[in-house]
Structure 1
Amino acid sequence: MSTPYDIPEAPEVLDRREGPYGEVVLRRHGGLLQIIANGCFLMDTSDGRSERRLVDAALAALDARVEDPRVLIGGLGVGFSLAHAAGQPRWGRITVVEREPSIIEWHRAGPLSELSARALADPRAEIVETDLVAYVHETSDTFDALCLDIDNGPDWTVTEDNDGLYSAAGLEACARVLNPHGVLAVWSARPSPEFEGTMRNAGFRHVRTEEIPVARGVPDVVHIGVRPG
Protein backbone atom coordinates (compact mmCIF):
# COMPACT_ATOMS: atom_id res chain seq x y z
CA MET A 1 0.00 0.00 0.00
CA SER A 2 1.35 3.42 -0.88
CA THR A 3 1.59 6.25 1.65
CA PRO A 4 1.69 10.05 1.26
CA TYR A 5 5.45 9.89 1.77
CA ASP A 6 6.28 7.36 -0.93
CA ILE A 7 8.95 9.10 -2.99
CA PRO A 8 8.64 9.02 -6.79
CA GLU A 9 11.71 8.96 -8.98
CA ALA A 10 11.62 12.62 -9.97
CA PRO A 11 10.40 15.66 -8.02
CA GLU A 12 7.78 17.98 -9.50
CA VAL A 13 8.76 21.64 -9.69
CA LEU A 14 5.82 23.73 -8.46
CA ASP A 15 7.45 27.13 -8.82
CA ARG A 16 10.80 28.53 -9.80
CA ARG A 17 11.74 32.15 -9.10
CA GLU A 18 14.78 34.34 -9.60
CA GLY A 19 14.98 36.14 -6.26
CA PRO A 20 17.24 38.89 -4.95
CA TYR A 21 19.81 36.27 -3.87
CA GLY A 22 19.52 33.84 -6.75
CA GLU A 23 17.22 31.06 -7.83
CA VAL A 24 14.63 29.67 -5.41
CA VAL A 25 12.63 26.55 -6.24
CA LEU A 26 9.62 24.97 -4.58
CA ARG A 27 9.05 21.38 -5.55
CA ARG A 28 6.95 18.40 -4.52
CA HIS A 29 8.62 15.05 -4.03
CA GLY A 30 5.99 12.48 -3.18
CA GLY A 31 4.16 13.88 -0.15
CA LEU A 32 6.96 16.31 0.67
CA LEU A 33 7.40 19.97 -0.21
CA GLN A 34 11.03 21.03 -0.66
CA ILE A 35 12.80 24.39 -0.93
CA ILE A 36 15.96 24.58 -3.05
CA ALA A 37 18.10 27.74 -3.22
CA ASN A 38 20.74 28.09 -5.94
CA GLY A 39 20.76 24.34 -6.34
CA CYS A 40 21.32 23.77 -2.59
CA PHE A 41 18.69 21.75 -0.71
CA LEU A 42 17.51 23.84 2.24
CA MET A 43 14.64 21.98 3.88
CA ASP A 44 11.49 19.98 3.40
CA THR A 45 8.29 19.11 5.21
CA SER A 46 9.35 15.60 6.20
CA ASP A 47 9.84 16.14 9.92
CA GLY A 48 10.24 19.49 11.63
CA ARG A 49 11.59 18.25 14.96
CA SER A 50 14.76 20.36 14.56
CA GLU A 51 12.80 23.55 13.88
CA ARG A 52 10.48 22.88 16.80
CA ARG A 53 13.40 22.12 19.10
CA LEU A 54 15.01 25.41 18.12
CA VAL A 55 11.98 27.29 19.49
CA ASP A 56 11.61 25.02 22.52
CA ALA A 57 15.27 25.41 23.48
CA ALA A 58 15.01 29.20 23.38
CA LEU A 59 11.83 29.21 25.45
CA ALA A 60 13.28 26.80 28.02
CA ALA A 61 16.40 28.96 28.45
CA LEU A 62 14.38 32.11 29.09
CA ASP A 63 13.99 33.43 32.61
CA ALA A 64 10.57 32.26 33.77
CA ARG A 65 9.87 35.72 35.14
CA VAL A 66 9.83 37.29 31.66
CA GLU A 67 6.21 38.02 30.78
CA ASP A 68 4.98 37.77 27.20
CA PRO A 69 8.47 37.25 25.74
CA ARG A 70 9.10 38.44 22.20
CA VAL A 71 10.79 36.05 19.80
CA LEU A 72 12.55 36.83 16.52
CA ILE A 73 12.77 33.87 14.15
CA GLY A 74 15.38 34.19 11.43
CA GLY A 75 14.14 32.32 8.38
CA LEU A 76 10.59 31.31 7.46
CA GLY A 77 11.54 28.12 5.62
CA VAL A 78 8.66 25.68 5.41
CA GLY A 79 7.07 27.28 8.47
CA PHE A 80 7.71 24.71 11.20
CA SER A 81 9.31 27.19 13.64
CA LEU A 82 6.60 29.79 13.11
CA ALA A 83 3.78 27.27 13.49
CA HIS A 84 5.33 25.80 16.62
CA ALA A 85 5.88 29.20 18.25
CA ALA A 86 2.29 30.21 17.44
CA GLY A 87 1.11 27.06 19.19
CA GLN A 88 2.79 28.14 22.43
CA PRO A 89 0.69 30.62 24.41
CA ARG A 90 3.65 32.00 26.37
CA TRP A 91 5.11 33.94 23.45
CA GLY A 92 3.89 37.52 23.40
CA ARG A 93 5.04 38.49 19.91
CA ILE A 94 6.39 36.35 17.09
CA THR A 95 8.39 38.11 14.37
CA VAL A 96 9.76 36.16 11.42
CA VAL A 97 12.39 37.73 9.16
CA GLU A 98 12.55 36.27 5.65
CA ARG A 99 14.46 37.79 2.75
CA GLU A 100 12.99 35.73 -0.09
CA PRO A 101 9.65 37.20 -1.28
CA SER A 102 8.81 33.96 -3.10
CA ILE A 103 8.94 31.94 0.12
CA ILE A 104 6.65 34.44 1.84
CA GLU A 105 4.21 34.25 -1.07
CA TRP A 106 4.23 30.43 -1.01
CA HIS A 107 3.12 30.64 2.61
CA ARG A 108 0.51 33.33 2.17
CA ALA A 109 -1.12 32.08 -1.01
CA GLY A 110 0.67 28.96 -2.15
CA PRO A 111 1.30 25.30 -1.29
CA LEU A 112 3.05 26.07 2.02
CA SER A 113 -0.05 27.82 3.37
CA GLU A 114 -1.33 24.46 4.56
CA LEU A 115 1.44 24.51 7.17
CA SER A 116 1.35 28.14 8.21
CA ALA A 117 -2.13 29.58 7.60
CA ARG A 118 -3.22 29.22 11.22
CA ALA A 119 0.02 30.72 12.52
CA LEU A 120 -0.15 33.66 10.11
CA ALA A 121 -3.69 34.35 11.29
CA ASP A 122 -2.41 34.64 14.87
CA PRO A 123 -2.42 38.34 15.88
CA ARG A 124 0.93 37.85 17.63
CA ALA A 125 2.67 36.83 14.39
CA GLU A 126 4.22 39.03 11.71
CA ILE A 127 6.57 38.49 8.77
CA VAL A 128 9.20 41.09 7.94
CA GLU A 129 10.55 40.85 4.40
CA THR A 130 14.21 41.78 4.72
CA ASP A 131 17.67 40.32 5.11
CA LEU A 132 18.27 39.10 8.66
CA VAL A 133 21.90 40.20 8.72
CA ALA A 134 20.88 43.76 7.88
CA TYR A 135 17.91 43.58 10.25
CA VAL A 136 19.92 42.79 13.39
CA HIS A 137 22.26 45.67 12.61
CA GLU A 138 19.54 48.22 11.86
CA THR A 139 16.32 47.50 13.75
CA SER A 140 15.36 49.47 16.86
CA ASP A 141 13.19 46.59 18.10
CA THR A 142 14.38 44.30 20.87
CA PHE A 143 13.47 40.72 21.66
CA ASP A 144 13.77 38.19 24.45
CA ALA A 145 14.78 35.35 22.14
CA LEU A 146 16.45 35.13 18.75
CA CYS A 147 16.11 31.83 16.88
CA LEU A 148 18.33 31.58 13.79
CA ASP A 149 17.70 29.07 11.03
CA ILE A 150 18.76 30.79 7.81
CA ASP A 151 21.66 28.48 6.92
CA ASN A 152 22.70 24.88 7.29
CA GLY A 153 24.81 26.09 10.21
CA PRO A 154 27.59 28.53 11.12
CA ASP A 155 30.07 26.55 9.01
CA TRP A 156 27.77 26.00 6.02
CA THR A 157 26.00 29.15 4.92
CA VAL A 158 23.57 29.41 2.04
CA THR A 159 25.24 32.58 0.70
CA GLU A 160 28.59 34.19 1.49
CA ASP A 161 26.78 37.28 2.77
CA ASN A 162 25.61 35.28 5.79
CA ASP A 163 29.12 34.39 6.98
CA GLY A 164 29.46 37.55 9.03
CA LEU A 165 26.42 36.72 11.14
CA TYR A 166 28.40 34.02 12.96
CA SER A 167 31.48 36.18 13.55
CA ALA A 168 32.17 38.21 16.68
CA ALA A 169 30.73 41.30 14.98
CA GLY A 170 27.62 39.41 13.88
CA LEU A 171 27.04 38.03 17.35
CA GLU A 172 27.46 41.53 18.76
CA ALA A 173 24.63 42.62 16.44
CA CYS A 174 22.51 39.69 17.64
CA ALA A 175 23.16 40.68 21.24
CA ARG A 176 22.15 44.25 20.38
CA VAL A 177 18.59 43.18 19.55
CA LEU A 178 18.31 40.98 22.65
CA ASN A 179 17.03 42.28 25.94
CA PRO A 180 19.19 41.59 29.03
CA HIS A 181 19.15 37.84 29.75
CA GLY A 182 17.79 37.28 26.25
CA VAL A 183 18.48 33.94 24.54
CA LEU A 184 20.25 33.27 21.25
CA ALA A 185 19.49 29.87 19.68
CA VAL A 186 21.19 28.85 16.43
CA TRP A 187 20.25 25.75 14.44
CA SER A 188 23.00 23.78 12.71
CA ALA A 189 23.17 20.59 10.69
CA ARG A 190 26.29 19.62 12.62
CA PRO A 191 28.04 20.72 15.82
CA SER A 192 30.46 23.65 15.59
CA PRO A 193 32.87 23.84 18.55
CA GLU A 194 34.49 26.86 16.92
CA PHE A 195 31.17 28.71 16.90
CA GLU A 196 30.63 27.83 20.56
CA GLY A 197 33.95 29.51 21.30
CA THR A 198 32.96 32.57 19.27
CA MET A 199 29.74 32.84 21.27
CA ARG A 200 31.65 32.75 24.54
CA ASN A 201 34.19 35.29 23.30
CA ALA A 202 31.31 37.55 22.24
CA GLY A 203 30.09 37.61 25.83
CA PHE A 204 27.28 35.08 25.77
CA ARG A 205 26.92 33.02 28.92
CA HIS A 206 25.67 29.51 29.63
CA VAL A 207 26.75 28.50 26.11
CA ARG A 208 25.89 24.92 25.27
CA THR A 209 24.94 22.66 22.38
CA GLU A 210 21.86 20.45 22.33
CA GLU A 211 21.76 17.49 19.96
CA ILE A 212 18.62 16.63 18.00
CA PRO A 213 18.48 12.98 16.89
CA VAL A 214 17.84 12.44 13.18
CA ALA A 215 16.89 9.35 11.21
CA ARG A 216 20.45 8.86 9.97
CA GLY A 217 23.77 10.66 9.94
CA VAL A 218 25.18 13.26 12.32
CA PRO A 219 22.59 14.75 14.70
CA ASP A 220 21.33 18.26 14.12
CA VAL A 221 22.14 20.66 16.96
CA VAL A 222 21.01 23.90 18.54
CA HIS A 223 23.71 26.23 19.88
CA ILE A 224 22.36 28.23 22.82
CA GLY A 225 23.69 31.23 24.70
CA VAL A 226 22.33 33.92 27.03
CA ARG A 227 23.08 37.62 26.83
CA PRO A 228 24.33 38.96 30.17
CA GLY A 229 22.06 41.24 32.18
Structure 2
Amino acid sequence: MAEVVDVVRGRGGELVLRRAGEAFEVIANGVFLMDTRNGESERLLVTGAADALAPGARILIGGLGVGFSLRAALEHPNVGEVVVVEREPAVIEWNRVGPLRTVHGDALADPRVIVVEADLVAWLRETGETFDALCLDIDNGPEWTVTDGNAALYGESGVEGLVARLRPGGVIAVWSAGAAPSFTERLRSRFADVRVAEVPVLRGEPDVVWFAKMSGR
Protein backbone atom coordinates (compact mmCIF):
# COMPACT_ATOMS: atom_id res chain seq x y z
CA MET A 1 0.00 0.00 0.00
CA ALA A 2 1.49 3.32 -1.09
CA GLU A 3 1.75 6.14 1.46
CA VAL A 4 1.13 9.69 0.23
CA VAL A 5 4.03 11.90 1.27
CA ASP A 6 2.94 15.17 -0.34
CA VAL A 7 0.21 16.52 -2.62
CA VAL A 8 0.59 19.90 -4.34
CA ARG A 9 -1.07 21.92 -7.04
CA GLY A 10 1.68 22.34 -9.59
CA ARG A 11 1.94 24.35 -12.77
CA GLY A 12 0.71 21.40 -14.77
CA GLY A 13 -1.94 20.21 -12.32
CA GLU A 14 -1.91 17.93 -9.29
CA LEU A 15 1.41 16.38 -8.28
CA VAL A 16 1.63 13.56 -5.77
CA LEU A 17 4.75 12.17 -4.14
CA ARG A 18 4.16 8.81 -2.49
CA ARG A 19 6.22 6.07 -0.90
CA ALA A 20 5.77 2.38 -1.70
CA GLY A 21 8.10 0.39 0.51
CA GLU A 22 11.56 1.85 -0.03
CA ALA A 23 10.63 3.41 -3.38
CA PHE A 24 9.20 6.85 -4.10
CA GLU A 25 6.73 7.50 -6.91
CA VAL A 26 5.66 10.72 -8.63
CA ILE A 27 2.12 10.94 -10.03
CA ALA A 28 0.87 13.83 -12.20
CA ASN A 29 -2.89 14.31 -12.61
CA GLY A 30 -3.40 10.65 -11.75
CA VAL A 31 -0.84 9.43 -14.32
CA PHE A 32 2.29 7.61 -13.13
CA LEU A 33 5.40 9.54 -14.17
CA MET A 34 8.44 8.01 -12.48
CA ASP A 35 9.79 6.16 -9.47
CA THR A 36 13.09 5.42 -7.75
CA ARG A 37 13.15 1.65 -8.32
CA ASN A 38 15.63 1.47 -11.17
CA GLY A 39 16.50 4.47 -13.31
CA GLU A 40 18.68 2.61 -15.83
CA SER A 41 17.23 4.36 -18.87
CA GLU A 42 17.24 7.77 -17.12
CA ARG A 43 20.96 7.37 -16.43
CA LEU A 44 21.60 6.20 -19.99
CA LEU A 45 19.95 9.39 -21.25
CA VAL A 46 22.93 11.34 -19.93
CA THR A 47 25.79 8.84 -20.07
CA GLY A 48 25.04 7.89 -23.67
CA ALA A 49 25.21 11.55 -24.67
CA ALA A 50 28.25 12.40 -22.55
CA ASP A 51 30.22 9.45 -23.94
CA ALA A 52 30.23 11.25 -27.30
CA LEU A 53 31.52 14.55 -25.88
CA ALA A 54 34.89 15.99 -24.92
CA PRO A 55 35.78 16.62 -21.26
CA GLY A 56 34.36 19.81 -19.78
CA ALA A 57 31.07 19.51 -21.64
CA ARG A 58 28.15 21.74 -20.71
CA ILE A 59 24.89 19.84 -20.72
CA LEU A 60 21.24 20.64 -20.19
CA ILE A 61 18.89 18.25 -18.45
CA GLY A 62 15.24 18.96 -19.18
CA GLY A 63 13.22 17.56 -16.30
CA LEU A 64 14.74 16.93 -12.86
CA GLY A 65 12.56 13.93 -12.03
CA VAL A 66 13.99 11.95 -9.13
CA GLY A 67 17.55 13.03 -9.90
CA PHE A 68 18.87 9.87 -11.58
CA SER A 69 19.98 11.70 -14.74
CA LEU A 70 21.58 14.51 -12.76
CA ARG A 71 23.61 12.15 -10.58
CA ALA A 72 24.76 10.24 -13.67
CA ALA A 73 25.88 13.50 -15.27
CA LEU A 74 27.90 14.56 -12.24
CA GLU A 75 29.67 11.21 -12.13
CA HIS A 76 30.61 11.26 -15.83
CA PRO A 77 34.21 12.39 -16.52
CA ASN A 78 33.23 14.41 -19.60
CA VAL A 79 30.67 16.63 -17.85
CA GLY A 80 31.78 20.03 -16.59
CA GLU A 81 28.55 21.93 -15.92
CA VAL A 82 24.90 20.89 -15.74
CA VAL A 83 21.90 23.18 -16.23
CA VAL A 84 18.68 21.57 -15.01
CA VAL A 85 15.40 23.07 -16.23
CA GLU A 86 12.39 22.00 -14.15
CA ARG A 87 9.02 23.75 -14.21
CA GLU A 88 7.57 22.34 -10.97
CA PRO A 89 8.74 24.05 -7.76
CA ALA A 90 7.60 21.03 -5.72
CA VAL A 91 9.84 18.67 -7.67
CA ILE A 92 12.82 20.94 -7.04
CA GLU A 93 11.92 21.13 -3.35
CA TRP A 94 11.49 17.35 -3.01
CA ASN A 95 14.95 16.91 -4.53
CA ARG A 96 16.71 19.75 -2.74
CA VAL A 97 15.54 19.34 0.85
CA GLY A 98 12.83 16.64 0.71
CA PRO A 99 12.90 12.85 0.69
CA LEU A 100 14.28 12.56 -2.87
CA ARG A 101 17.51 14.21 -1.71
CA THR A 102 18.83 10.85 -0.46
CA VAL A 103 18.09 9.14 -3.80
CA HIS A 104 20.86 11.02 -5.63
CA GLY A 105 23.18 11.95 -2.78
CA ASP A 106 22.20 15.63 -2.60
CA ALA A 107 23.19 16.25 -6.23
CA LEU A 108 21.61 19.72 -6.30
CA ALA A 109 24.23 20.92 -3.81
CA ASP A 110 27.04 20.27 -6.30
CA PRO A 111 28.55 23.62 -7.42
CA ARG A 112 28.54 22.46 -11.04
CA VAL A 113 24.72 22.41 -11.04
CA ILE A 114 22.51 25.33 -12.04
CA VAL A 115 18.77 24.88 -11.50
CA VAL A 116 16.34 26.91 -13.61
CA GLU A 117 12.68 26.88 -12.55
CA ALA A 118 10.92 27.26 -15.89
CA ASP A 119 8.85 25.53 -18.53
CA LEU A 120 11.43 23.89 -20.78
CA VAL A 121 9.61 24.52 -24.06
CA ALA A 122 9.23 28.24 -23.34
CA TRP A 123 12.73 28.55 -21.91
CA LEU A 124 14.33 26.99 -24.98
CA ARG A 125 12.52 29.47 -27.21
CA GLU A 126 13.73 32.43 -25.18
CA THR A 127 17.28 31.52 -24.18
CA GLY A 128 20.38 32.24 -26.20
CA GLU A 129 22.45 29.69 -24.29
CA THR A 130 24.11 26.79 -26.08
CA PHE A 131 25.08 23.34 -24.88
CA ASP A 132 27.13 20.31 -25.84
CA ALA A 133 24.17 18.06 -25.02
CA LEU A 134 20.44 18.46 -24.51
CA CYS A 135 19.05 15.57 -22.44
CA LEU A 136 15.26 15.72 -22.38
CA ASP A 137 12.95 13.81 -20.05
CA ILE A 138 9.86 15.95 -19.47
CA ASP A 139 7.23 13.56 -20.87
CA ASN A 140 6.43 9.87 -21.09
CA GLY A 141 7.53 10.19 -24.71
CA PRO A 142 7.08 12.18 -27.93
CA GLU A 143 3.62 10.67 -28.40
CA TRP A 144 2.61 10.72 -24.71
CA THR A 145 3.18 14.22 -23.41
CA VAL A 146 2.45 15.39 -19.87
CA THR A 147 0.89 18.62 -21.16
CA ASP A 148 -0.39 19.44 -24.65
CA GLY A 149 2.06 22.30 -25.11
CA ASN A 150 5.01 19.91 -24.92
CA ALA A 151 4.04 18.23 -28.20
CA ALA A 152 5.62 21.10 -30.16
CA LEU A 153 9.03 20.09 -28.81
CA TYR A 154 9.03 16.88 -30.87
CA GLY A 155 7.78 18.26 -34.18
CA GLU A 156 9.95 19.57 -37.02
CA SER A 157 10.07 23.13 -35.69
CA GLY A 158 10.77 21.84 -32.19
CA VAL A 159 13.70 19.75 -33.36
CA GLU A 160 15.09 22.74 -35.27
CA GLY A 161 14.78 24.78 -32.08
CA LEU A 162 16.83 22.17 -30.24
CA VAL A 163 19.47 22.22 -32.97
CA ALA A 164 19.78 25.98 -32.50
CA ARG A 165 20.77 25.40 -28.87
CA LEU A 166 23.49 22.85 -29.74
CA ARG A 167 27.17 23.53 -30.15
CA PRO A 168 29.07 21.86 -33.05
CA GLY A 169 29.34 18.13 -32.40
CA GLY A 170 26.57 18.34 -29.81
CA VAL A 171 24.05 15.63 -28.95
CA ILE A 172 20.30 15.61 -28.45
CA ALA A 173 19.09 12.79 -26.18
CA VAL A 174 15.38 12.12 -25.59
CA TRP A 175 13.80 9.65 -23.14
CA SER A 176 10.53 7.82 -23.76
CA ALA A 177 8.45 5.12 -22.09
CA GLY A 178 7.89 3.52 -25.49
CA ALA A 179 8.72 3.56 -29.17
CA ALA A 180 7.77 6.46 -31.45
CA PRO A 181 8.74 5.56 -35.03
CA SER A 182 7.65 8.91 -36.46
CA PHE A 183 10.00 10.73 -34.09
CA THR A 184 12.84 8.39 -35.08
CA GLU A 185 12.28 9.25 -38.73
CA ARG A 186 12.11 12.95 -37.94
CA LEU A 187 15.51 12.80 -36.27
CA ARG A 188 17.00 10.78 -39.11
CA SER A 189 15.80 13.35 -41.63
CA ARG A 190 17.81 16.00 -39.75
CA PHE A 191 20.83 14.12 -38.35
CA ALA A 192 23.19 11.69 -40.07
CA ASP A 193 24.08 10.04 -36.76
CA VAL A 194 21.00 8.76 -34.88
CA ARG A 195 20.99 5.88 -32.40
CA VAL A 196 17.92 4.34 -30.77
CA ALA A 197 18.53 2.40 -27.54
CA GLU A 198 15.92 0.14 -25.97
CA VAL A 199 16.08 -0.61 -22.24
CA PRO A 200 13.98 -3.55 -20.99
CA VAL A 201 11.70 -2.92 -18.02
CA LEU A 202 9.94 -5.32 -15.66
CA ARG A 203 6.51 -4.82 -17.23
CA GLY A 204 5.42 -3.46 -20.59
CA GLU A 205 7.39 -2.37 -23.63
CA PRO A 206 11.01 -1.22 -23.25
CA ASP A 207 12.00 2.34 -22.44
CA VAL A 208 13.56 4.09 -25.44
CA VAL A 209 16.33 6.68 -25.60
CA TRP A 210 17.25 8.50 -28.81
CA PHE A 211 20.70 10.00 -29.41
CA ALA A 212 21.14 12.36 -32.36
CA LYS A 213 24.60 13.87 -32.92
CA MET A 214 25.48 17.02 -34.81
CA SER A 215 28.48 17.08 -37.11
CA GLY A 216 31.38 19.35 -36.38
CA ARG A 217 33.58 17.54 -33.87
Global fold match (TM > 0.5): yes
**Equivalent in 202, 205, 216 of residue 218 of structure 1:** 205
**Equivalent in 38, 51, 69 of residue 60 of structure 1:** 51
Give the match for residue 130 of structure 2.
142
Contact 2:174 2:211 in 1 (8 A): yes
Higher Rg: 1
Deviation at 1:215, TM superposition (A): 2.1
User: For residues 106 and 18 of structure 2, what CA distance do their matches in structure 1 show?
Assistant: 22
Q: Which runs of 5+ in 2 are unaligned?
A: none
User: For residues 118 and 16 of structure 1, what CA distance do their matches in structure 2 show?
Assistant: 22
Deviation at 1:167, TM superposition (A): 0.4
Contact 2:50 2:76 in 1 (8 A): no
Task: Give the 3-state SS of the residue equivalent to 1:112 in structure 2.
Answer: helix
Give the match for residue 227 of structure 1.
214
Is 1:16 the counterpart of 2:7? The answer is yes
Deviation at 1:109, TM superposition (A): 1.3
* Identity rate, percent: 55
* RMSD of equivalent CA atoms: 1.2
Equivalent position amino acid for 1:210 in 2: A
User: For residues 17 and 204 of structure 2, what CA distance do their matches in structure 1 show?
Assistant: 25
**Equivalent in 39, 44, 59 of residue 35 of structure 2:** 44
What are the equivalent positions in structure 2 for 1:1-229 lying under 5 Å apart?
A: 10-62=1-53, 66-201=54-189, 203-229=190-216
Deviation at 1:217, TM superposition (A): 2.4
> For each residue in 1:61-118, what CA deviation from the matched residue of structure 2 results, as whole angstroms up to 9, or x when unmatched?
33xxx34111101100011001111112320101111000000011111111112343
Number of residue pairs matched by the alignment: 216
Equivalent position amino acid for 1:37 in 2: A
Task: Give the 3-state SS of the residue equivalent to 1:78 in structure 2.
Answer: coil
Contact 1:136 1:176 in 2 (8 A): no
User: For residues 32 and 176 of structure 2, what CA distance do their matches in structure 1 show?
Assistant: 14
User: For residues 176 and 116 of structure 2, what CA distance do their matches in structure 1 show?
Assistant: 23
TM (norm. structure 2) is: 0.95
Deviation at 1:143, TM superposition (A): 0.3
Deviation at 1:180, TM superposition (A): 1.2
TM (norm. structure 1) is: 0.90
Equivalent position amino acid for 2:23 in 1: L
Q: 1:14 and 1:118, CA in 2 relative to 1: closer, same or farther beyond 3 A? A: closer
Deviation at 1:138, TM superposition (A): 1.1
